[in-house]
Structure 1
Amino acid sequence: MTQISFEFFSPKTVTAAFSLSRAAETLAGFAPQFSSVTCSKDPAQTLDTLRALRRSGLERLQAHVTCSTQQPADLPAYLKAAQEAGAEGLIALRGDTAPKGLDVTDLIACAKQNAMQDIFVAAYPEVHPLAQSSQSDLDWLKRKQDAGATAAITQFFFHAEFFLRFRDRAAAQGITLPITPGILPVQNWTATQAIARSCGTSIAPDLAEGFARAEREGRAEMMAIAQASELCDSLIQNGVEHLHFYTMNKAEVVSAICTALGKAPQQSLRRVA
């Protein structure tokens, strides 16, 4: 049976916080293998979100940690605080700006010293915008594996062949850690295109036209569910055993996709009490 996991981000308003809680409670019913929280500019917000997700019934939480938001001297204390907030591991990332004396391998080493169970890192089926080449992406992934990473989660993509080719190239480079594909269900097509441009994710012309037409015809959600379900099915048919969903703190589309993949949500007793 294919495993699933979810990513959430810290809310910025009270209304958004309530929306996050509702989404987390709904998605907890699918018994994800783990759930992660992205790193806010204020790390304290990440800790608050970890606590909120734990209250919502999600387990085996992972905290994103980036080199750009942490000072080396503060990292051990922050990781301890993350563990106290409910994190069993971390997702170690470089971040969007130049590191302040930290390297991703430093994050991995510190996580090992703090006895974190899971140490995830990023991987890129399409070349990272700041990478010199696709080979340098693989070289970095191998370096992160050698430093002690236990698994990798990829940037999102829209075409299964990108992930499958990357997985095969990684294996040929001696990369043996599990590589989980990151899936971004389209919640807002305009916003999704902007995110894709910023991280180098390709969008085929026919896919772009399909989403644009679906929005014009008032069936954007149906299109999003169909596209992501088809992508996930193609990955599963090619041996993928775990899918990681970028939820955007919304449950409806993600729930529909998980259901289409044969996942049956369990009703929480505290939600019906």
Structure 2
Amino acid sequence: MYPTAFRPSRESRRPIRVSFEFFPPKTPEMEATLWSSIERLAPLGPSFVSVTYGAGGSTRERTHNTVSRLVRETELKPAAHLTCVAATKGEVDEVVRAYHEAGVRHIVALRGDPADGVGTAYTAHPGGYERSCDLVAGIKRIGDFEVSVSAYPERHPEAGSLDQDLDALKAKVDCGADRAISQFFFDNDLFFRYLDRVQSRGIDIPIIPGILPVQNFKQAANFARRTGASVPDWLAARFEGLEDDVATRKLVAAAVAAEQVLDLVDRGVTDFHFYTMNRADLVYAICHLLGLRAAPAAAEKAAA
């Protein structure tokens, strides 16, 4: 009988921290789903929850409403996404001040996608913030905000090289970024090679891995193509033939996500950012495997 290898992911007291990303709802039905998911995940005590900002600032009002409600009605720490697109510096600064007045102290600063969507050439708005590093500096000038930025283990689709992409990350750090959240990836080796290159450039802020639990493989693959993330052949094979088999697909999705995050834990990762797609069950299950449990008071309230 072979001895069991030591697995940090099996140590129940390992300090794991998680954060969750949501997007603002478009319809009453989507809003109900969002808040049901927030209520499900909140008892796990996330470090923060972020709310996305649509291409071209298209969800500005809905993002603000969602974040403001999080401040008013929950004990969660919301992080509002903000972009440089389709607005002057004055207009963006006004949004930042409005967040501050609403009680928000954490912003995820992004360059953002053009209003026409991914694949359209980016052009800075006349009189606007030109790059995400400029936006970071602007936010820091306005108030006592914590600022998170993006990182790309396989480089941003518009960057000429990974070195150019690292130059952009370094500029954001130099302007005051406190942490970076990575684009999702499915090959953990890619993430660790990226961390090595980040560290070799003297970039010392935390890089939190972004995890996308695959709720729908076709949708995830399309999203990956638009954002420059690769989809390994082995991952496609896991979901092959399950297009009409929802029950099995859910089991496979849970197994794939668990395999990825537990391997990251075994290799020293303790912080995770989950792209929830406003769905809670799969993310909740993964967090349970990571050892997270609902706070006793929250669990008792849910059972009442």
If the length of structure 2 is used for normalisation, what is the TM-score?
0.85
Q: Is the CA contact (8 Å cut-off) linking 1:21 and 1:56 kept in structure 2?
A: no
Quote the Cα distance in structure 2 between the aligned partners of 1:271 and 1:52.
20
Matched, 1:231 2:231: no
More deviation in 111-120 or 42-51?
Answer: 111-120
CA distance in 2, matches of 1:25, 1:235: 27
Is the contact between residue 186 and residue 260 of structure 2 (CA under 8 Å) also seen in structure 1? yes
Cross-structure match for 2:41: 27
Counterpart for residue 36 of structure 1: 50
The answer for the alignment partner of 1:45 in structure 2 is 62
RMSD: 1.6
Aligned position for 1:67: 84
- Write the distance in 1 (CA, Å) between the matches of 2:300 and 2:135: 38
Q: Deviations over 1:139-193 (max 9, x none)?
A: 1111111111010000000110111100011000111010000000011111111
For residue 271 of structure 1, report the CA deviation from its aligned partner: 4.3
Cα shift at 1:138: 0.7
Question: Which residue of structure 2 aligns with residue 6 of structure 1?
Answer: 20
d(CA) in 1 for partners of 2:75, 2:160: 38
Corresponding residue for 1:170?
198
Match of 2:272 in 1: 243
Report if the CA contact (8 A) 1:37-1:46 is conserved.
yes
The residue number in structure 2 matching 1:107 is: 135
Unaligned 5+ runs, structure 1: none
1:173 aligned partner, one-letter code: R
Query: CA separation in 2, counterparts of 1:163 and 1:60?
Result: 27
Quickly say closer, same or farther: Cα 1:116–1:8, change in 2 above 3 A.
Answer: farther
Work out the CA distance in 2 between the residues paired with 1:263 and 1:107: 34
SS of 1:245's equivalent in the other structure is strand
CA contact (8 A) 2:84 2:92 kept: no
Structure 2 match to 1:79: 96
Q: Which residue of 2 is the match for residue 139 of structure 1?
A: 167
Give, in whole Å, the separation in 2 of the partners of 1:79 and 1:184.
Answer: 28
Aligned-residue sequence identity (percent) comes to 40
Gaps of 5+ in 2: 1-14, 115-121
Call closer, same or farther: CA 1:30–1:70 in 2, change over 3 Å.
Answer: farther
Give distance in 2, aligned partners of 1:26 and 1:258: 12
Shift in CA distance, 55/255, structure 1 to aligned 2, threshold 3 Å:
farther
Look up the equivalent residue of 1:60 and give its one-letter code: K
CA displacement, residues 62-120 of structure 1 (integer Å, 9 cap, x when unaligned):
11111114321112211111223342111111111222131212211122122233110
Question: Is the contact made by 1:11 and 1:17 (CA closer than 8 Å) also made in structure 2?
Answer: yes
* Structure-2 separation of matches of 1:169 and 1:139: 11
Aligned residue identity for 2:202: G
Match of 1:127 among 126, 139, 155: 155
What whole-Å deviation, never above 9, does each CA across 1:203-223 have from its counterpart, x for those lacking one? Answer: 111210111244454411111
* 2: CA distance, partners of 1:62 / 1:162: 27
Q: Is the 8 A contact 2:38 2:280 kept in 1?
A: yes
Relative to structure 1, the CA distance from residue 158 to residue 73 in structure 2 (aligned partners, 3 Å threshold; closer, same or farther) is same
Contact 2:100 2:143 in 1 (8 A): no
Query: Counterpart of 1:207?
Result: 235
Structure 2 residue matching 1:177: 3-state secondary structure: coil
Runs of 4+ residues over 3 Å off in structure 1: 213-218, 268-273
Q: What is the SS of the residue equivalent to 1:176?
A: coil
How many pairs does the alignment contain?
A: 273
Q: Are the counterparts in 2 of residues 25 and 56 from structure 1 also a CA contact under 8 Å?
A: no
- Structure 1: distance between partners of 2:136 and 2:45: 27
Aligned AA (2:109): A
Residue type at the aligned position of 1:34: F
Deviation, 1:230, is 1.2
Structure 1's 151 and 220: CA in aligned 2 closer, same or farther, altered over 3 A? same
